[in-house]
Structure 1
Amino acid sequence: MCKKKSDALAADPKPRSRSSMASSGFQSSSDFTSNGGRDAAKPSSSTSSDHLSITSIREIMAESPNLYDFSEILTAASSEHAKRLSSSSSSSWRCTIRGKEAAVLRRTFHGDPSQLRRRAAAAAAARHKNVVRLLGAAAAPPDALFLVYEFIHGASLRDCLRNPRNPEFTPIASWLQRIQIASDVAQGLQYIHHFSAAAPIHDRIKSSAIMITDRDHRAKICYFAAADLAREEEKFQGARGYIAPEVREGEPASQKSDVYAFGVVLLELISGEEPIKYTYKAEIGGYEIVSLVESAKILIEEDRSFRSWVDRRLRDSFPEKVARKTIALAVDCAQPAADRRPDMVRAAANLSALLAQSKAWADLIGNRNESSQSLAPR
């Protein structure tokens, strides 16, 4: 089951006053000016030395269409129509800015303040149908950053695959829909890696960072440039199963670590399962970690039957040869050694071929499901 577009993304439908926004990280304009900006929108655990002065903010915002004034963000997020997003942190809002529906994320700024305009402009220049557009950014002293993205009506891939309110239902219940989503994500990542003027990695790929549109069930990658512009207090919070082995060992994120995370997402699409599960084993008197990557690797290496491994909500209707090739591609993307993983050009090309084969299979059996189901629970 997946939530309605209004329910899946908004957990706080009640209008909030400016005072309630202040308790969530925003300060009123009077507070902002009376304390010199020292506390406005400051994350509680920030220790950054890259603090922004009011003067530097005014300079970098001058005549830039990609940067908003902090007061615009405050006004929009304090509106009675604004809603807090439930799919991300508590410091995220759905609101209207300059006449456009937007999702606003508060983060901690990372880097040289004088470069914010250039970096935000490069990220905002990105245009791809499978990447959620960054509309712009706003800064507030000492080091708060507000990223403004276009709002997408739909729900995250994670919620579409696994919703505890109704685990028996998924709005993406056909093989063709899932392979189309996989191809969409691959095409979006290929664009980020090879054609974007901004940082050529994403560094936050996971099923909760991929939106499935409500109208046609196509995929869009969220949070583009967030890792480049913002500093996270902990690396990839809550995403252990997506982190490449070399990144866990302290190496920097790279395009190949994005490929690893994409491989994990591809396995999620096929199996419907979480990347890592903890299963209680009575014989050992404790919990055993079950890795989606490792279980898929065993299927391929030992040439085992995988029908029981594929998400049963697909109703056992999928092209076996194509499914095996897709699992093999996912395992290839999630290789332990980074230099053995394909780049996204090759991965996207392979998925395009698998999508074409899947369409031919669907046409042949006359079971080509149209993406007409709602994301609302049944």
Structure 2
Amino acid sequence: MSEALRRELNPLIIKVSSASSMPSTPQSFRELSRRCMPVYTAYTFKEPMYESCRKPHGRNIYWEDVNVELLGIIPKGELVEYFHGPPLEVEVHDRDRRPEEIKQKPTLFGEDIEDDKISNVGMVTAKRTLHNPFHTHIKPWDPYGLAKFDLSDLLLGERVLNLTSPIHSCQLPDVIGRNRTDTRLIGYSNSADGPKDEPLPMGHYLESHSQLKIRVEVSYPLTSSQEVKLKEEMETPPECPFARMVYIFECKNTEFLHMLVKLVTLINATALNLDQMPPHIIEAALSTYKLSEAQQESPILELVTGFQVMDGEKHIFVLEGLREKFVFQTLPSKSAAVSGTPNSLLRETIISAVGKRSLRVAFLKMS
């Protein structure tokens, strides 16, 4: 690849190096090797999911697997949002069972526990599990380890990140409905009795102090150290029109609280065409209004959403809306908020632009 093309595409190299102190409990490595497929990792950087090479079971596993992503073809706004967002989650699959056909035991009619459901339409359509993320009905869900890595330092001009993260257990779904109080399965009453085969027990990752090591390298820094020091105002990419603002102030600063509540109420009432109604009608309408999916993701609806937290001393407001509309032009700035209240504490933080609303709970009424 030529230097000009490398600069234009800016390859990002994600190298999954190794996993250390993998658990040998509750199953030994010999049993895992016999019953399970070789160990591999999987993660999603944008789309689709990438799977590494497979290595034998053992206490320490070395993949040295390299995946290349081209950052130059991803819009800058989406890239900034991605690195500011949730950490990169790398799955460590060490308990994926080998595929084997599950044979039903032959029985005479009347002996099978499901024969009394022959007239139930649920028997034809329902699956044997509540949670069915797998491709076929004969292979249930398998547990795996999960490691999370924060890549936000790439936005501070870093070019190489050598990261190590503890491996912890993934969330275990209720695959056969043991925690349900009723007997309904996928909407049908008594349609199945549960899966014929259950997943292996979860590995003891935390007890074994399991860790995953990766290396992330970008050909050219996403920003320079000089740009980071200058803290210049961020441009709003067209694909990321939303932004968040965080206000932290003292609970006794009621003047600023009332001003902020009044302003957010006015913004939302105008956006939803409620501003011509009496104030008490506006408050009642906003308190019961439910945003549709289209409204939540609309890039033109000038609506403010968010939440508030208070502990008796500090009051925190997290607001989200159109960056060019409400963050810089409408909501009060730090200087305006502290005017006349020199003893009150107020901190204001503007978080980077995002592509869609993530604070789905509408901040329509605040009391």
- TM-score, normalised to structure 1, is 0.22
- TM-score, normalised to structure 2, is 0.22
Structure with a larger share of its residues in helix: 1
Q: Name which one, 1 or 2, has greater alpha-carbon Rg.
A: 2
